[in-house]
Amino acid sequence: MLTDLEIAKQCNLKPMEEIADELNLNRDYLEQYGKNKAKISLEVMDDIKDHADGNLILVTSINPTPAGEGKSTVTVGLAQSMKQLGHSVSCCLREPSLGPVMGIKGGAAGGGYSQVVPMEEINLHFTGDIHAITAANNALSAFIDNHIFQGNALQIDQRRITWKRVVDLNDRALRQVVVGLGGVKQGIPREDGFNITVASEIMAILCLAENYQDLKERLNRIIIGYSTSNEPVTVKDLNVGGALTLLLKEAFKPNLVQTLEGVPAFIHGGPFANIAHGCNSVVATKMASKLTDYVVTEAGFGADLGAEKFLNIKARTAHLDPKIVVIVATIRALKMHGGVDKADLSNENIPALMEGLKNLKKHTETIEAFNVPFVIAINKFTADTEAEIATLTKWCEKHQFKVALTDVWAQGGQGGLDLAKAVVQTIANEKANFKPLYSLDESLKEKITIVAKTVYGAKDVEFSSEALEQLDTLTKQGLGHLAVCMAKTQYSLSDDPVKLGRPEDFTVTIRECRPSVGAGFIVCLTGDVLTMPGLPKEPAALKMDIDEDQGAIGLF
């Protein structure tokens, strides 16, 4: 069997000009980055602003398990299927972070015959967007420490600096550090820490900003910490919003590549789906929507995290109107939610499958709560038995859920035609009437409670005394109107990662609340949330190399 990289290398990529033609995009707006990647100038938006909006399709999934769901693969595959059916279609994905690529994942560009290409370039540096965000984030840190060093006119309290440095790597040794050591010429010693770049507020901002002006205003609103009198200190106070905007000038332009079957793919931005909102950029989604009739996009982790935030944060902010949600599940993962060990997933197990379907059921209820129709996509694995598939189909019939078996990993677009047809028909026949789950006018506490109860199925929400105090302060500071961005384990509907399936009677604990004012939300942390992953004992990097033809080895 061919690896993803081998399949990707066999692909005869179309010149980027042809991909632009596919979009009816004037080639002058294309800014080529290497042979097979391009950025698109935002100036195009003036030209196409009167185009009708394409139909926005959100791909989400059940709670992820080590068994794998293949959400990116289905996203790419579905777009290819729709193209095969003759539709005008594009897909919008997030950019892979180098950390996971070098760590466990080895790549994040779909899989099999449903990949975006050139996968090795997308996985490594791509067009440099994440590096630009790293530079902007760390330039801000340098400006903060320099401001204190040079006299600290703003009276920044070095014990209350909340802005952290970042690297786009998995590097646990940087989680907690002390900087500024070495005496009077080196700065002021203080505690600090590094996040992975995709967890930076700047990444979230880049993904939510509408245009350069909005980008700058959002950057200026970032709270970097507090003064000795406990007042918020912002980027604007430091007078570096312009410089940060300039550093992000190129990174803010959407990137265009293609899928293995030549579907235009906008890959832009990649915020974490725990402490950020986990969706690709608003500018890319809007551009795609003005250029094709259908836009297939995805959001991080399961529907309880990525889809919730796509709908409550991204779609609300950007006035997007999602027409349908595709919920991806695999029989393997459903069995795992039903209590089967990873080692036994290849054995038929109908009772476990039935039990695991409760997880899927909860996510369908969530999407219904947003008033958006959905289709269930069963992403096929070879070990799935006929009886298991029949059980699942029957379950869907019983609930009157639309469902389609897909095999886009092995067959590319050909493997997702049923799904594509179901999606197109549903959009045509069932009018979505999307509305966010909560109004921004409600209190922060109320917003959190609505998400926890409606989306997670929690019985109750508990706030730590710290969180209560923070919510109170944030509200007094005039930030009560912001959205809430929940940071929760992706493995469970609850805040306890070992509770698979559909946990009941549980309470969600809000431990801490942090303002991401530039992004426009309050991050609400439940349990420990990792914002800097570590490397495994045998990182994927150990297998990476270049071959004699200067090709990549070891990405998958």
Is position 394 annotated as part of the catalytic site? no
Contact 325, 367 (CB under 8 A): yes
CB of 500 to a copy of itself, least distance (A): 23
Q: Among residues 413, 487, 540, which one has the least CA distance to residue 79?
A: 413
Is position 449 annotated as part of the catalytic site? no
Binding segment for a copy of itself (CB under 8 A), chosen from 27-35, 44-52, 270-278, 341-349, is 27-35
CB of 130 to a copy of itself, least distance (A): 9
Q: Does 225 bind a copy of itself (CB under 8 A)?
A: no
CA distances to 7, 38, 256 from 118, in Å? 11, 12, 11
- What is the phi/psi pair of residue 486, to 5°? -80, 130
**Alpha-helix runs per DSSP H in 292-407:** 308-309, 316-318, 331-337, 350-369, 386-399
- Neighbour-count burial for 52-78, b at 16+ CB within 10 Å, e otherwise: eebbbbbbbbbbbbebbbbbbbbbbbb
- Give the span between the Cα atoms of 93 and 305, in whole angstroms: 16
Closer Cβ to a copy of itself, 42 or 410, answer by number: 42
Interface with a copy of itself in residues 477-496 (CB under 8 A): none
- What is the phi/psi pair of residue 165, to 5°? -80, 165
CB of 240 to a copy of itself, least distance (A): 6
Q: Which of these is catalytic: 109, 273, 377, 483? A: 273
Closer Cβ to a copy of itself, 85 or 167, answer by number: 167
Stretch 179-208: interaction string toward a copy of itself, x if CB under 8 A = xxxx--xxxx--------------------
Q: Does 428 bind a copy of itself (CB under 8 A)?
A: no
Count of residues in contact with a copy of itself, rule CB under 8 A:
74
Q: Does 281 bind a copy of itself (CB under 8 A)?
A: no
Stretch 152-181: interaction string toward a copy of itself, x if CB under 8 A = ---------------xxxxxxxxxxxxxxx
Is 525 strand, coil or helix? Answer: strand
Q: Among residues 445, 438, 348, which one has the least CA distance to residue 389?
A: 348
Q: Which of these is catalytic: 37, 71, 445, 502? A: 71
Interface with a copy of itself in residues 123-142 (CB under 8 A): 124-125, 127-128, 131-132, 134-135, 138-139, 141-142
Q: Does 539 bind a copy of itself (CB under 8 A)?
A: yes
Q: Does 507 bind a copy of itself (CB under 8 A)?
A: no
DSSP letters, 368-386, are: HHTT--EEEEEE--TT--H
Which residues, including other chains, have CB under 8 Å from residue 227's CB and lie 6 or more apart? Answer: 154, 155, 156, 157, 160, 233
Is position 453 annotated as part of the catalytic site? no
Which of 249, 319, 342, 399 binds a copy of itself (CB under 8 A)? It is 249
Q: Which of these is catalytic: 105, 160, 358, 514? A: 105
Q: What is the dihedral of CA 367, 370, 375, 377, to 10 degrees?
A: -40
Q: Does 242 bind a copy of itself (CB under 8 A)?
A: yes
Binding residues for ATP: 65-72
What residues are labeled active site? Answer: 71, 73, 94, 105, 273, 301, 381, 409
Return binding residues.
Answer: 65-72
